[in-house]
Chain A
């Protein structure tokens, strides 16, 4: 497991900008990669790819089901389609196509869900995705990732381009702090589990760019004498086996999962299943989106209102640490 600094040395980076750069590098390396969009190419940062490789970019219009089906056709033909749109429209609108036209025949299609979670903010519930990971993890055979920062996404991009079979990567919209080291080489892959802060009172698993908010809360609680060990999970399915050993070290103490996703079908459920399978007794404090849709608001205000950042998150973690 890689240890990483907890401060933010190099400012903030937007995952979609990292995505835009990564597809240029991957596209140059592998001529089989084709880019598929659904009238959101400006949001998904594929315009530069389109300009450089006009033959390998396809805009299907606002027709996600057809886009996913066409991706299956490309994959059958030996291409590696990258399917790009908002997480909400991809997973909710084209769920059956993802399941039956891609996952069931085990085709090599790469899905990218932009603006996952509620941090899209003002646009509100229709464009936000609190259930994308539940949908994608529920479909057999899809590897699911929620990178915790820009560097982490760069590793994920290397990984999904190399592994055979369907993958889903959830991205966040706004620039977020760099929490992990720069990518060392094009071979480097995402860590199964990454130590973000050290502490002995509470073990917290978190995922996606929400990790930065959890680290902020942990730093504030440290000043109050509460030590929180934060582990970042990038690959949600399959979860790394070593994660069970991490939890075992905290046997008898509290474990919390903090995620910008429904408490149903996200990291908490995946972790619970992993620990059950490993025979590790546990109690998980589920800090996520309860059984409700998102809503409009400034992203920071919204995350606080949902108890996923700022003082509300600190209070929930403090309560969990006290058991």
Chain B
């Protein structure tokens, strides 16, 4: 667990460095999903260089594509891309597009950024896993603003009705979307009863507590939930890890100045 926590700290540092270098980006929602990404790539998939090239493996889609810096940082952390490449984020010709692009960076499972689309793609992958009877899982990381989208609920309905047990949705529930707090834009809570009514197995936990995240991912990636799709509600904090960013809507899309980078790195790396 200590190794994973150290990994999460480095991912946070990479996020700040990238957005500082790019001059723009989405730090808030990147920082909130760090533990989720670390648990999936470092713990569950044990990904490294070469992992992605294998056919038989888990599949992870970052449906909330604006958290791309967190995904790229995780790739660098596990050795899937060079750390030095992180400084090219959002630059002309870079593989690290503002939102993930699988044609430029093949390690990206799916191009995302138009919110609401990733869960359906993960569903298609889960259906393919079931068709081939493969023992892997298809994970989609969703934002709580993103699930405003009707397509998400089309996918939730289908997966629940058809008991697609290879599908795992992970909600980065940081409580804030672009225009403000969830309750000020479109309140969809409580989530669990809605999802359970659609036939999903649901677990809620502290999404910034690495041990709880790992435990939830392990539960979802096992036979324990039965023949149901799995929904993990990770209660997180937007901008987690940096005090001046934490739980503030204006850090959804924001640049990181040199001073903020220095202060942020000190907090994150301790």
A19 to B: closest C-beta gap in Å: 22
Interface pick from A21-29, A54-62, A151-159, A278-286: A54-62
Interface pick from B44-52, B154-162, B257-265: B154-162
Q: Are A76 and B121 in contact (CB under 8 A)?
A: yes
Asked whether any CB of chain A lies closer than 8 Å to the CB of B269, the reply is: no
Asked whether any CB of chain A lies closer than 8 Å to the CB of B232, the reply is: no
B264 to A: closest C-beta gap in Å: 32
What separation, in Å, do the CA atoms of A296 and B119 have in the docked complex? 38
Which residues 115-157 of B have a CB within 8 angstroms of A? 116-129, 131-132, 138, 150-151, 154-155, 157
Q: Are A73 and B123 in contact (CB under 8 A)?
A: yes
Given contacts A63-B157, A65-B154, A66-B154, A73 and B101 within 8 Å (CB-CB): no
Give which listed residue, B110, B126, B129, B151, contacts A105 with CB less than 8 A.
B110
Contacts of A61 in B (CB 8 A): 154, 157-158
Q: Are A77 and B117 in contact (CB under 8 A)?
A: no
What separation, in Å, do the CA atoms of A96 and B118 have in the docked complex? 12
Which residues 82-138 of A have a CB within 8 angstroms of B? 96-97, 100-101, 104-106
What separation, in Å, do the CA atoms of A34 and B131 have in the docked complex? 10
Asked whether any CB of chain A lies closer than 8 Å to the CB of B113, the reply is: yes
Q: Are A96 and B114 in contact (CB under 8 A)?
A: yes
Q: Which residue of A lies closest to B167 (CB)?
A: A73
Q: Which residue of B lies closest to A61 (CB)?
A: B158
Contacts of B154 in A (CB 8 A): 60-61, 63, 65-66
What separation, in Å, do the CA atoms of A96 and B109 have in the docked complex? 19
Contacts of A233 in B (CB 8 A): none
Asked whether any CB of chain A lies closer than 8 Å to the CB of B111, the reply is: yes
Q: Are A104 and B127 in contact (CB under 8 A)?
A: no
What separation, in Å, do the CA atoms of A100 and B149 have in the docked complex? 15
Contacts of B95 in A (CB 8 A): none
Asked whether any CB of chain A lies closer than 8 Å to the CB of B10, the reply is: no
Q: Are A104 and B111 in contact (CB under 8 A)?
A: yes
Asked whether any CB of chain B lies closer than 8 Å to the CB of A204, the reply is: no
A169 to B: closest C-beta gap in Å: 20
B57 to A: closest C-beta gap in Å: 11
Q: Are A97 and B110 in contact (CB under 8 A)?
A: no
Task: Count residues on chain A whose CB falls below 8 Å from chain B CBs.
Answer: 30
Contacts of A68 in B (CB 8 A): 120
Asked whether any CB of chain A lies closer than 8 Å to the CB of B163, the reply is: no
Give which listed residue, B102, B131, B151, contacts A65 with CB less than 8 A.
B151
Given contacts A60-B158, A71-B124, A73-B123, A66 and B151 within 8 Å (CB-CB): yes
Contacts of B123 in A (CB 8 A): 66, 69-70, 73
B166 to A: closest C-beta gap in Å: 11
Q: Are B128 and A73 in contact (CB under 8 A)?
A: yes
Q: Are A77 and B102 in contact (CB under 8 A)?
A: no
Q: Are A72 and B121 in contact (CB under 8 A)?
A: yes
A134 to B: closest C-beta gap in Å: 20
Q: Are A73 and B117 in contact (CB under 8 A)?
A: no
Asked whether any CB of chain B lies closer than 8 Å to the CB of A74, the reply is: yes
Which residues 59-113 of B have a CB within 8 angstroms of A? 59, 101-103, 109-113
Asked whether any CB of chain B lies closer than 8 Å to the CB of A79, the reply is: yes
Q: Are B151 and A104 in contact (CB under 8 A)?
A: no
Contacts of B120 in A (CB 8 A): 65-70, 72-73, 97, 101
Q: Are B117 and A97 in contact (CB under 8 A)?
A: yes
What separation, in Å, do the CA atoms of A66 and B111 have in the docked complex? 16
Given contacts A66-B155, A69-B151, A97-B151, A105 and B124 within 8 Å (CB-CB): no
Contacts of A75 in B (CB 8 A): 124
What separation, in Å, do the CA atoms of A71 and B155 have in the docked complex? 12
Q: Are B121 and A70 in contact (CB under 8 A)?
A: yes
B82 to A: closest C-beta gap in Å: 23
Contacts of B112 in A (CB 8 A): 100
Q: Are B103 and A106 in contact (CB under 8 A)?
A: yes
Contacts of B127 in A (CB 8 A): 58, 70, 73-74
Contacts of B138 in A (CB 8 A): 73
A219 to B: closest C-beta gap in Å: 48
Asked whether any CB of chain B lies closer than 8 Å to the CB of A5, the reply is: no
Q: Are B158 and A100 in contact (CB under 8 A)?
A: no
Contacts of B126 in A (CB 8 A): 73
Asked whether any CB of chain B lies closer than 8 Å to the CB of A199, the reply is: no
B255 to A: closest C-beta gap in Å: 26
What separation, in Å, do the CA atoms of A55 and B157 have in the docked complex? 20
Q: Which residue of A lies closest to B100 (CB)?
A: A105
Q: List 11 A-B contacts (CB under 8 A).
A: A66-B120, A69-B155, A70-B120, A70-B158, A72-B124, A74-B124, A78-B128, A79-B128, A100-B112, A105-B102, A106-B103
Binding site for B on A (CB under 8 A): 34, 55-56, 58, 60-61, 63, 65-79, 81, 96-97, 100-101, 104-106
User: Given A67-B120, A72-B120, list of 19 further CB < 8 A pairs?
Assistant: A34-B131, A63-B151, A63-B154, A65-B117, A65-B154, A66-B154, A69-B155, A70-B123, A70-B124, A70-B127, A72-B110, A72-B121, A74-B128, A76-B110, A78-B55, A100-B112, A101-B110, A101-B120, A105-B103
State the 8 A-B residue pairs at the shortest beta-carbon distance, nearest first. A73-B124, A69-B120, A77-B128, A70-B124, A66-B154, A63-B154, A73-B125, A65-B151
